[in-house]
Each structure stands twice: as structure tokens, then as C-alpha cells.
Structure 1
Amino acid sequence: MKISTKGRYGLTIMMELAAKFGEGPTSLKSIAEKNQLSEHYLEQLIAPLRNAGLVKSVRGAYGGYILSRAAEEITAGDIIRVLEGPISPVDFTEEDDPAKRDLWLRIRDSIAEVLDSTTLDSLINYEEAGAEQNYMFYI
């Protein structure tokens, strides 16, 4: 399974909204400019996220988008499934070899476990948490 730009950019949108959670709506234009992405493409991605109930739109001069729930309650899996569809490394049928079928199922389950255990909050705070856990070696 290869995550397309839909999934990657959708995750970017959601991380930007998570970083601004509680500060009011964020425009797609500001997200596009900050990340050097096409605003038109982001507009296409935000609709399914809104329809899935992950974001809310706010109209008006200072409108934009906000998360519908706290960043700790939304996972990468929620976002990827909305934009990419079901998580599956291959399409398999009942006729597949049972050993290969088991391998594909374990891969699918491992990917799903990582995506479902990674919240937006953990993604936006990754640098802070990671910096404390990394070691610095000098030669």
C-alpha cells in the first residue's frame, strides 16, 4: 500500500489544524502557503474530511476550518481511511495460498495498528518528544 498525495496532504492539513486547535479557524490558503501546496488541491481534500466529521467549516471573513474533536481523539488511521480508503497492502481472494494470505493480513494489521495508535497530538508534538529521547554523539 502506497499512501498517495491525498493521504499525505490530508495529514498535513489535519496537523496544521491540530497545531492551531482552540485558536479559531485556519484558512486553507494559510496552510497551502506555509507548506507550499496547491490551495485548490487542499480544497478537494477538505471536503471528505468535513463529510467524515473530522473537521468543521466556519464561514465569514475570518472563517476557515477547525478540528471537530481534540487532536488526541483523531488518529492518522481516521484520516488515511477517509482519503485513501481501506488499509490493505494487496487485494486477495479466497483462492490465495493460505500462507501468503496470512502474511498480507499480518502486514495489513500491523499498518492499521501503527496508524490507529498515532494521534494528531503525537504527530504535532513529535519533535519535542523526540528531541528528549535522542542521543547526541560527538567524535
Structure 2
Amino acid sequence: MKFSTRGRYGVVLMVDLAMSNGDAPISLKSIAERQNLSEHYLEQLVAPLRNSGLVRSIRGAYGGYTLAKQASEITVGDVIRILEGPITVVDEPDELLDDLWEKVRIQINKVLDETTIEQLAEKKRENDQNLMFYI
């Protein structure tokens, strides 16, 4: 199974917002620069995330985006499904392998639904912190 850039970059966007701890709204421009992504592409991703209630936008000179919920309440599965739709393993029915693909789909969903944006943000903080010891 391979997730598109929509899903992968959407998770990156959400983790970046979680890293700010909700201190202040974050501009898409700053996220794009930090993550080396297209600001225009992030604009396309943030709209469905905002419409679904995972992200909140704040207007004005010091505006930007924040998480609408606690990062611990948002799963990777939530983000992927909003940006990519239902998670499927294969598109073609195959009676011989249907049970196998269904088991695989269930396990993929389980992992995505058990992994929160907060867990990924913590992992990133640890990795970034560990990198400092080698510089």
C-alpha cells in the first residue's frame, strides 16, 4: 500500500502544527519553508482539514493555522481518510484473496488509528534533540 503525497504531506503539516504546541498561529509559508514543501500545495491540503474540524484558521496579520483539537486526539488515520478517502488495499475483487486483503486493510487501519499526531510530534522532537548531540 502506498499513500499519495496528499496523505503524507497532510500528516507532515499536522505534525508541524502540533510541534508549535498551539502557542500562536503558524503560517503555511513558514511550514512550507521548514518542511521544504510547496505553500500552494499545503493550501490545498489545509482546506479539507479545516472543513473537517481538525485545523482552525485565524485571520489577520498574525494569523495562520492551529490544530482545532489536541494533537493526542487526532490520529494519522483521521488525516489520511480526510485527504485520501477510505483506506483500501486493492481495488479489484479476487475471491481467492479477499479474506487476506481484508485482514491487511484491518491491520493498516488499526495502526493508523492507534498512532496520534502527538506521538509523531514527540518522536520528531526526540529525533531533532538527538541530532543536536552529533553536531
Common fold, TM-score beyond 0.5? yes
SS at match of 1:56: strand
CA distance in 1, matches of 2:50, 2:126: 30
Partner of 1:14: 14
Map 1:13-92; keep pairs closer than 5 Å. Answer: 13-92=13-92
| Residue 94 of structure 2 corresponds to residue 111 of structure 1 | no
8 Å contact 1:25–1:65 — kept in the other structure? yes
Amino acid at match of 2:60: G
Structure 1: which 5+ residue stretches go unaligned? Answer: 131-139
CA distance in 1, matches of 2:125, 2:15: 15
| Residue 123 of structure 2 corresponds to residue 126 of structure 1 | yes
Partner of 1:3: 3
Identity within the alignment, %: 57
Residue-by-residue CA offset, 1:76-102 (whole Å, 9 max, x unaligned): 000000011101111244xx32x4111
8 Å contact 1:21–1:70 — kept in the other structure? no
Q: CA deviation at 1:70?
A: 0.3
CA distance in 2, matches of 1:129, 1:15: 13
Q: CA deviation at 1:129?
A: 6.3
CA distance in 2, matches of 1:13, 1:128: 15
Structure 2: which 5+ residue stretches go unaligned? Answer: 128-135
CA distance in 1, matches of 2:55, 2:66: 6
8 Å contact 1:27–1:63 — kept in the other structure? yes
Residue-by-residue CA offset, 1:10-33 (whole Å, 9 max, x unaligned): 011100111112201100000000
Larger Cα-atom Rg: 1
Name the TM-score, length of structure 1 as normaliser. Answer: 0.86
> How many residue pairs get matched?
128
| Residue 126 of structure 2 corresponds to residue 102 of structure 1 | no
Q: CA deviation at 1:126?
A: 1.5
CA RMSD of aligned residues (A): 1.7
CA distance in 2, matches of 1:50, 1:101: 35
Amino acid at match of 1:101: D
Residue-by-residue CA offset, 1:29-51 (whole Å, 9 max, x unaligned): 00000111110010011001011
Amino acid at match of 2:17: L
4+ residue runs over 6 A deviation: none
8 Å contact 1:92–1:101 — kept in the other structure? no
Amino acid at match of 1:124: A
8 Å contact 1:18–1:71 — kept in the other structure? yes
